[in-house]
Amino acid sequence: MDGGGAAELREAHRLTGHSDRVWSLAWNPFTGSGAGPVLASCGGDKAVRIWKRSPDGAWHCSDVLEDTHNRTVRSCAWSPDGKLLATASFDSTTAIWEYSGGDFECVATLEGHENEVKSVSWSSSGSLLATCSRDKTVWIWEMQPGNEYECVAVLQGHTQDVKMVQWHPFLDVLVSVSYDNSIKVWADDGDDEWHCVQTLTEADNCGHSSTVWALSFNKKGDRMVTCSDDRTLKIWDTSADLSQPKTGDDHESWRHLSTLTGYHGRTIFSAHLSSEDIIASGAGDDTICLFTEVEGPSYRLILKKEKAHDMDINCVRWCPQDPRMLASASDDGTVKLWELRGNALD
Amino acid sequence: MTVGMINANPVVHERPERAAHPHAADALDPLDVFDTVRDIKDPEHPYSLEQLSVLSEESVSVDEKLGRIQITFTPTVQHCSMATVIGLCLRLKLMQNFPPHFKIDIKVAPGSLANEESVNKQLNDKERVAAALENPNLRQLVDECLCSNDSHSR
């Protein structure tokens, strides 16, 4: 990197408490007055931990959510208003937690998947929830009054386990990524019937050649990044609005923009776009990389942080309230909070 | 229910004599790794993976600098449905015996299995490995293969 004030990723806090690998992280999106950032983490110890910043700037674990899932908690997601936390588990259930009266209470359990649930995501309105599983299906759930969740669609199309689901930042468009190497885009046809509206594959779209582990959208919704066991990150132009039923032959669709290769030596498990459009990636090589988009569009490596953890990095997440704070979770059982300093966007 | 064995008559080799091998105290060499896994019991037979030639010293490679252990094993028959169980046994044994920062890659020998590619993909998907080891039936099978070897090692 050239010039003064080069970007640097500084370890600011190390959060310990999980007794097994940490799989996933979720920042509470609520940005109300006085509330500091809140982070949820979950992992192989079957527990969820809630982390908060104290007035003195230190971080502490305020709550431990346990005894509900009896296997690994693979992922967690806050509702858009920050009031509910959903947790997906290898025990084949998804739990919904509500913070009330000073405690987290499990207010609903979503059952139906045949085996491990791997990911859960809330739609931007908060009225829909998506889950995915090793059973190769994606389920869409509608929130009803009284903490009831009704399954409104079971999406079949992947030929292997589905690793992650993520809603578009403001459209009711859902993306799933899979062990079958494909990325699928799902939308409803206006009649509450959900369909796969696009499949991104290696053969047809310069897609991935092995398991796709994760995806993330930027805030504007016109970029998506995916990462894979093939050790690449791929950037997609997602500006076409796939939420509208297709009319005629004009094939508006998402398309491949760029492939970032040669930066990670092992499986890339996580990628996340910040509100400043900085891509963070975390991988099985214990390394975190940051990238930014430049004219072209093409992508430039901002920095590479080797040995960011002692073991595989499973999840990286930018803090919504502080676009220069990154959280990472690892097989080493720790969560780290990083500060991005210097001129990252030069 | 009686299920036919995948390989009813495997070739069994003598358990070779083993001498303590000298090596530097800190360095990890392939023989250390082989010593740890050679006596794992086959899921189907009362023999060790070494006795069935599923594993040999040449199966193991170690790159200490990169912190990497790689094992390539050879299932006894082309259609061995036990290959994934053997792979799980190897991984768990290594996880239990070597520093956790080692990266472990487990593969079947090229050409040794009809569905080689899919087995290799499964064995190296850590999420599927984690889920499999939380499955009580599979875990019991794996634990049985691992515990039988204690009397022989070192």
What chain B holds in terms of domains, given with CATH numbers, is 30-147 (3.30.300.130)
Instruction: Give CA–CA dist B153/A57, Å, rounded.
Output: 51
**What distance in Å separates residue B9's CA from the closest CA in chain A?**
34
Residues of B in contact with A72 (CB under 8 A): 130-131, 134
- What's the whole-number average pLDDT of chain B? 87
pLDDT at B130 over 70: yes
Quote the pLDDT of residue A100: 86
Sheet holding A194-200, edge to edge: A162-167, A173-178, A183-188, A194-200
Q: Are A152 and A140 in contact (CB under 8 A)?
A: yes
Q: Which of B65, B120, B121, B127 would you mutate first to test chain A, the one with the most A CBs within 10 A? A: B127
A329 Ramachandran zone, left/alpha/beta (phi>0; psi -120 to 50): beta
| Bridging pattern class, strands A278-283 and A335-341 | unpaired
Q: Structural domain boundaries of chain A?
A: 20-241+253-285
Q: Per CATH, the architecture of A20-241+253-285 is what?
A: 7 Propeller (2.130)
- B134: nearest CB among A72, A161, A310: A72
Q: How confident is the model at residue B19 (pLDDT cuts 50, 70, 90)?
A: low
Q: Which of A285, A288, A294 is nearest to A316 (CA)?
A: A288
HEC readout, chain B: CCCCCCCCCCCCCCCCCCCCCCCCCCCCCHHHHHHHHCCCECCCCCCECCCCCCCCHHHEEEECCCCEEEEEECCCCCCCCCHHHHHHHHHHHHHHHCCCCCEEEEEECCCCCCCHHHHHHHHCCHHHHHHHHHCHHHHHHHHHHHHCCCCCCC
Q: Do A179 and B131 touch (CB under 8 A)?
A: no
The type of residue at A158 is H
Residues of B in contact with A306 (CB under 8 A): none
Q: Are A138 and A160 in contact (CB under 8 A)?
A: no
- B101: nearest CB among A90, A179, A311: A311
CA atoms within 13 A on the CB side of B133: 19
Quote the pLDDT of residue A346: 66
- CB atoms < 10 A from the CB of A273, how many? 23
pLDDT at B47 over 80: yes
Q: What mean pLDDT comes out for the span B13-27?
A: 66
pTM reported for the whole predicted model: 0.94
Quote the pLDDT of residue B1: 42
> If you ran DSSP here, which 8-state letter would residue A116 be given?
-
pLDDT in tens, chain A (346 residues): 444 578 999 999 999 999 999 999 999 998 766 678 999 999 999 999 999 998 888 999 999 999 999 999 999 999 999 999 999 999 999 999 999 888 999 999 999 999 999 999 999 999 999 999 999 999 999 999 999 999 999 999 999 999 999 999 999 999 999 999 999 999 998 888 999 999 999 999 999 999 999 999 999 999 999 999 999 999 999 999 998 776 655 568 999 999 999 999 999 999 999 999 999 999 999 999 999 999 878 999 999 999 999 999 999 999 999 999 999 999 999 999 999 999 877 6
